[in-house]
Structure 1
Amino acid sequence: MKRIGLLFLPLLLVIGLVGCQQKQATPKPEMVSQPYQDTQFLMGTVVTLRVYDKGKQDALNTAFARIKQLANEITVNEKGSEVDEVNKQAGIKPVKVTPSVYKLISYAKYFSDNSDGSFDLAIGPITALWHIGFPDAKKPTQQEIDERLPLVNYKDVTLDATKQTVYLKRKNMALDLGGIAKGFITDEVVKTLKKSGVTTAIVDLGGNLYVLGNSPKHKNAKWNVGIQDPKSSRGTALGTVPEVNKTIVTSGIYERYLKVNGKIYMHLMNPKTGYPFDNNLMGVSIITKKSVDGDALSTATFDKGLKDGMTYIEKKKDTEAVFITKDKKVYITSGLKNKFKLVSGSGYKMATLN
């Protein structure tokens, strides 16, 4: 089992316990004082799992095996990837995929429909053009964007639940599930841990955070989860919320970006323009029960902007959001009132929509 190194330290700044109101609290039975933990670099990000249940160390191996299996099936440009095969057969024929990949693509299609295209699973031709986050990232010409933009249309993705097939109707179309895959895999890891008998754990897939169960220290205590400062390195919190069995997903303009002539272009692409989203939002954190939902919704709200994004999230059951604007103001949905706490000295200010 690998030891936790410096790459894991930021998480320690984010996760704490909300149990100070309980005097002489009794430790939960069958919990270890120090969690079983492992950190691996997968899918281009640092993945850390921590399990607190006594005797459940082997659950880490099972969970990491599941991550690797899904990553191999989903990664677009990896040889043998099912999603890559779907893209290769665009405009030619449907491709049969495994149940997990079909489920992921179904989620992506659902959120594409639900957000009216603010999130679009067929954004592949545009993300490949910019390739932000990779060594060959560049700002494409307007002509290049104009040529590829007509290929971005989630309505041209056909799913057959009976045959478990995926078909892209036009040649050169391409799925890009990067905006939802980590959330899906996070949820699958949680399911795997539960099947192994784990009741208390922290799952961190490079920004997709899930806190399973209550605090390992005190009965019925909640985790104090940090909301990522989108302008700082991973693990720097601008605020906190107490949560149990919830996921927190943050997207921000400084997470991955391309800088050209002094202008920053974020990695999240607007499927309507072919350019990265460009509004007053600097970051969005989604708090919900399923990480796959948090992934898709954080992208969709960037397209909708602060006001429409707030309205969109308020209509979602069991879903809350923290919006951070470029002028360092923080807006929260109604369910976070009296729960969200701004970190002292963070440089941010709470604000409300008029």
Structure 2
Amino acid sequence: MVKQIGTLFIILLIAVPISAQQSFHRSLKLMGSGFQITVVVKDSTEANRVIDLAINEISRIEKLISSWDPNSETSLINKNAGIKPVKVSVELYDLIERAIGLSGLTDGAFDISYASMDKIWKFDGSMKEMPSKEEIKSSVAKVGFQKIILDSRNKSVFLKDKGMKIGFGAIGKGYAADQAKALLLKNNVQAGIINA
């Protein structure tokens, strides 16, 4: 079950009464946000092992989708906008395809190409005035999920316009939490919470 409130994602594992098991919890910062991982297992050794697996999975996904990491596949796509398609991993290709599907369902209200606007909009509290109408118009011109070209045969992604960017701020943490949950379930964790 996934509960979404703004950027809050809570992933619940199968919650069943489990005798002789205890709840173990770890809070840390991942993907630029607070994550709390709780598992119900037999002892602290097992808890540390499976929580570490979940943390490693979330960190792996962050390296894949981060637009801040210059070595990520996402950064490579952004650097080659308007220049050439970039061959990516099946996982990233599938995530982008899924995001484009959500964009279609929402008539563009959800759009991973929003990241093209990052040069004029700052969400760190440093902005003292609104950008000009011309700056906004120019920035918005680079946004549009329809300009993200996927090649399913080559598993490549091409952003049609120079200056276009994609970013996973809206779905990255939820995707990472889902993947960590799946990994915990594969490792016989039958109850817990991943809160991002």
Normalising by the smaller structure, the TM-score range is: 0.7 to 0.9
1:158 positional shift:
1.0
Offset of residue 29 of structure 1: 2.2
Q: Within 5 Å, which residues of 2 pair with 1:174-213?
A: 174-205=165-196
**Equivalence for 1:37:** 25
Name the CA distance, whole Å, in 2 between partners of 1:128 and 1:31.
50
- Which stretches in structure 1 are left out of the alignment for 5+ residues? 1-13, 15-26, 206-354
Partner of 1:266: none
How big is the shift at 1:198? Answer: 0.8
Query: How far does residue 203 in structure 1 lie from its aligned partner after superposition?
Result: 0.3
Structure 1 stretches (4+) deviating beyond 3 angstroms?
A: 135-138
Aligned AA (1:181):
G
Displacement of 1:31 after TM fit?
Answer: 2.1
Judge conservation of contact 1:104–1:181 (CA < 8 Å) in 2.
no
- 5+ residue gaps, structure 2: 1-9, 11-16
CA distance in 2, matches of 1:51, 1:87: 37
Over the matched positions of the two proteins, sequence identity in percent amounts to 29
Structure 1 counterpart of 2:51: 60
Equivalent residue number for residue 85 of structure 2: 94
Q: Deviations over 1:280-338 (max 9, x none)?
A: xxxxxxxxxxxxxxxxxxxxxxxxxxxxxxxxxxxxxxxxxxxxxxxxxxxxxxxxxxx
Could you say what secondary structure the match of 1:63 adopts? helix
Name the structure, 1 or 2, with higher relative contact order (CA <8 Å, separation 6+). Answer: 2
Alpha carbons 1:89, 1:168 under 8 Å: kept: yes
Q: Distance in 2 between matches of 1:136 and 1:103?
A: 35
- Structure number with greater Rg is 1
Residue 50 (str. 1) matches residue 41 (str. 2): no
Q: Residues 153-189 of structure 1, C-alpha deviation per residue, up to 9 Å, x if partnerless? A: 1101011222221110111111122111111111111
Letter of the structure 2 residue corresponding to residue 66 of structure 1? E
- Measure, in 1, the Cα distance between the counterparts of 2:90 and 2:50: 23
Name the residue aligned to 2:72. 81
Q: 2:62 matched to 1:71?
A: yes
What CA distance in whole angstroms lies between the structure 2 residues aligned with 1:45 and 1:137?
A: 21
For the 8 Å contact 2:66–2:72, the answer to whether it is kept is: yes
Mapped pair 1:131 → 2:119: no
- The residue identity in structure 1 corresponding to 2:136 is I
Which of 18, 21, 29 is the aligned partner of 1:28? 18
Q: How many residues are matched?
A: 178
Give the residue type in structure 1 aligned to 2:137: D
Question: Aligned partner of 1:150: which letter?
Answer: A
Indicate which of 116, 122, 142 corresponds to 2:133: 142
SS of aligned partner of 2:103:
helix
> 1:136 Cα deviation (Å)?
4.1
SS in structure 2 at match of 1:122: helix
Alignment partners' CA distance in 2, 1:203 and 1:42: 12
| CA distance in structure 2 between the partners assigned to 1:137 and 1:175 by the alignment | 22
CA distance 1:105–1:59, shift in 2 (3 Å): same
SS in structure 1 at match of 2:166: coil
Q: Secondary structure of the residue that 1:47 maps to in structure 2?
A: strand
The whole-number CA distance in structure 2 between the counterparts of 1:95 and 1:136 is 34
What is the 5 A alignment of 1:157-176? 157-176=148-167
Q: TM-score, normalised by structure 1?
A: 0.48
Letter in 1 for 2:36: T
Q: Which has the higher strand share?
A: 1
* 2:106 pairs with 1:118: no
